[in-house]
């Protein structure tokens, strides 16, 4: 465990305190917002396939009950520790507040390297973890709703949903106990891509602000922006994909084993397949190999950390040449690195806003599970029929007739994926302006991160006010 992970919760609270100092809320209220409401730590045995017994260490933290359920992913990683899970749960509270998703923050973790276990062992670990949560009422559609995080995905979420449903026979809303499930198991179209797509919307909106781009010496718009991505997992892969499809050029990708660069542009899908087939990102045709550290320090317009926390420290911050830092991971920048970034005039789009696309679409999935109907099911054909009538009226009025292709393009009732993507876009665009305006109207606010914390603190404080806890 490295030093930064040891006190990750403390680091998040340093950001909180800096933002809190710009408010005049009572100290007790701020202390209530900042603390972790419940921390559940537990151990259980796993019988490995070879017969050995191993003790598995798990956590679930509920940071804030100002709104329920609490929400946040479950991480499987060898370095998981209590401070980390607490920090990540706290970040979830602020993240949900920023994008107006009506949850408190939570997070879970299991201290394992998922690559070292068989699928069968992982299934037993996940189901047992769910049992442990259930025993203490740390899971449920109205209590605490986990989701994927580093080291987990749709498969684990399906096991959790199935275990919970088995423990609660007949509970109508049981599927809403976890999000990030496969679409066939109650998931929603677009959840898997959501964090990456949200990062793209965040970047696109940032690049549309002429004043901010001028200050960075960059042209307006995402088109042609040179991007470096660290981490080719679900978040990094989809961020790269949407940004590239949106006009950016992916000049380098970094992974644990090393990095590759091609100034003419890389295709994340081809790189992903190359890594799957060869076991390494390196030696990709047409690209140059370099080490991960060097990739982070490349001259580029946008750097997207999409792996774990604590990547930028006082040791390397000064060498980062990116103009924009788009935080896909949670906590990639330490409080020591931030002032260096500010001094360099970088635009840091902070994690608690930038990667909120995941929980936003999780919210949509939860709503779908509670309503038991696919988004668009009732309205798709109705909208299509109305649009076709409109096209017909235009044809009659103008004498021009539309081709079948135009008709299909203009009269298309939205399906679930379309609605999810547009709900996500609306959320990310609005929230960007909310935090940008917060920074502009708060003279002592140094950057978007503190502005985002400030916006979150105001919203959580308002909830407590509505509960009558302070006037």
Contact region with ligand GLU (CB under 6 A), list: 59-67, 77-85, 206-214, 354-362: 354-362
Which residue among 174, 213, 326, 359 contacts ligand GLU (CB under 6 A)? 359
- Which lies closer to ligand GLU via its Cβ, residue 72 or residue 104? 72
Which residue among 362, 376, 416, 431 contacts ligand GLU (CB under 6 A)? 362
**Residue 105 beta carbon to ligand GLU: minimum distance, rounded to whole angstroms:** 9
CA distance 8 to 24: 26
CA distance 250 to 268: 8
Q: From 243, 261, 244, select the one nearest 252 (Cα to Cα).
A: 261
148: tokens are 């994927």
CA distance 302 to 135: 45
Burial (0-12, 13-18, 19+ Cβ within 10 Å), 91: buried
**Taking CB under 6 A as the rule, does residue 179 contact ligand GLU?**
yes
CA distance 299 to 77: 31
- Which lies closer to ligand GLU via its Cβ, residue 183 or residue 218? 183
71 given a catalytic annotation? no
CB atoms near residue 3 (< 10 Å)? 9
Residues 396-455 that bind ligand GLU (CB under 6 A): none
How far is Cα of residue 187 from the mean position of the Cα atoms in its chain?
17
DSSP helix/strand/coil, 44:
strand
Within 40-192, where are the H helices?
82-98, 119-135, 154-167
Residues 127-156 that bind ligand GLU (CB under 6 A): 147, 149
Q: Is residue 246 within 8 Å of residue 272, measured between CB atoms?
A: no
320: tokens are 């980062």
**Taking CB under 6 A as the rule, does residue 292 contact ligand GLU?**
no
- Which lies closer to ligand GLU via its Cβ, residue 284 or residue 364? 364
Q: Which residue is nearest to ligand GLU (CB)?
A: 73
Residue in 107, 181, 225, 459 annotated catalytic: 107
Q: From 64, 58, 107, select the one nearest 86 (Cα to Cα).
A: 107
Binding mask 322-351 for ligand GLU (x = CB under 6 A): --------x---------------------
- Which lies closer to ligand GLU via its Cβ, residue 18 or residue 309? 309
**Taking CB under 6 A as the rule, does residue 69 contact ligand GLU?**
no
φ, ψ for residue 100, nearest 5 deg: 55, 45
Size of the site for ligand GLU (CB under 6 A): 11
- Which lies closer to ligand GLU via its Cβ, residue 5 or residue 282? 5
Contact region with ligand GLU (CB under 6 A), list: 128-136, 309-317, 358-366, 457-465: 358-366
Q: What angle do CA 369, 375, 381 make, to 5 degrees?
A: 145
- Which lies closer to ligand GLU via its Cβ, residue 38 or residue 208? 38
Which residue among 67, 71, 124, 274 contacts ligand GLU (CB under 6 A)? 71
State the catalytic residues. 107
State the residues that interact with ligand GLU by CB under 6 A: 71-73, 147, 149, 179, 330, 355, 358-359, 362
């Amino acid at each position: 465990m490295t030093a930064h992970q040891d006190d990750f919760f403390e680091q998040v609270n340093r950001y909180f305190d800096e933002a809190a100092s710009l408010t005049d809320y009572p100290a007790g209220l701020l202390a209530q917002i900042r603390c972790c409401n419940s921390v559940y730590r537990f151990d259980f045995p796993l019988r490995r396939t070879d017969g050995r017994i191993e003790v598995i260490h798990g956590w679930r933290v509920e940071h804030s009950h100002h709104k329920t359920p609490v929400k946040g992913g479950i991480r499987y990683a060898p370095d998981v520790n209590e401070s980390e899970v607490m920090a990540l749960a706290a970040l979830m509270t602020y993240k949900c507040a920023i994008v107006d998703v009506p949850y408190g923050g939570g997070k879970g973790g299991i201290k394992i390297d998922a690559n070292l276990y068989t699928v069968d062992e992982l299934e037993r670990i996940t189901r047992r973890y769910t049992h442990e949560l259930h025993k203490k009422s740390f899971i449920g559609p109205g209590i605490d709703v986990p989701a994927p995080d580093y080291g987990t995905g749709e498969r684990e979420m399906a096991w959790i949903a199935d275990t919970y449903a088995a423990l609660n026979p007949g509970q109508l809303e049981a599927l809403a106990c976890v999000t990030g499930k496969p679409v066939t198991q109650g998931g929603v179209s677009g959840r898997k891509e959501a964090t990456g797509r949200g990062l793209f919307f965040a970047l696109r909106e940032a690049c549309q602000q002429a004043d901010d781009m001028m200050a960075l010496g960059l042209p307006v718009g995402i088109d042609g922006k040179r991007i470096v991505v660290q981490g080719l997992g679900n978040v990094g892969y989809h961020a790269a994909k949407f940004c590239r499809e949106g006009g950016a050029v992916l000049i380098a990708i970094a992974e644990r084993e090393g990095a590759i660069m091609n100034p003419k542009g890389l295709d994340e899908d081809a790189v992903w397949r190359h890594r799957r087939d060869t076991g390494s990102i390196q030696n990709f045709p047409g690209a140059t190999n370099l080490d991960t550290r060097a990739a982070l320090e490349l001259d580029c317009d946008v750097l997207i950390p999409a792996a774990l926390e604590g990547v930028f420290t006082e040791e390397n911050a000064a060498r980062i040449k990116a103009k924009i830092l788009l935080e896909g991971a949670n906590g990639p920048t330490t409080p020591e690195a931030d002032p260096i970034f500010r001094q360099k005039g970088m635009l840091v789009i902070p994690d608690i806003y930038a990667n909120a696309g995941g929980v936003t679409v999780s919210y949509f999935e939860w709503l779908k599970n509670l309503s038991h109907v696919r988004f668009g099911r009732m309205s798709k054909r109705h909208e299509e029929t109305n649009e076709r009538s409109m096209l017909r009226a235009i044809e009659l009025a103008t004498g021009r007739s539309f081709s079948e292709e135009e008709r299909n393009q203009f009269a298309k009732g939205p399906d679930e994926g379309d609605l999810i993507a547009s709900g996500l876009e609306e959320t990310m665009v609005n929230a960007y302006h909310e935090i940008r305006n917060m920074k502009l109207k708060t003279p002592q606010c140094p950057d978007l991160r503190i502005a985002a914390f400030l916006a979150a603190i105001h919203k959580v404080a308002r909830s407590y006010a509505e509960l009558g806890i302070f006037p």
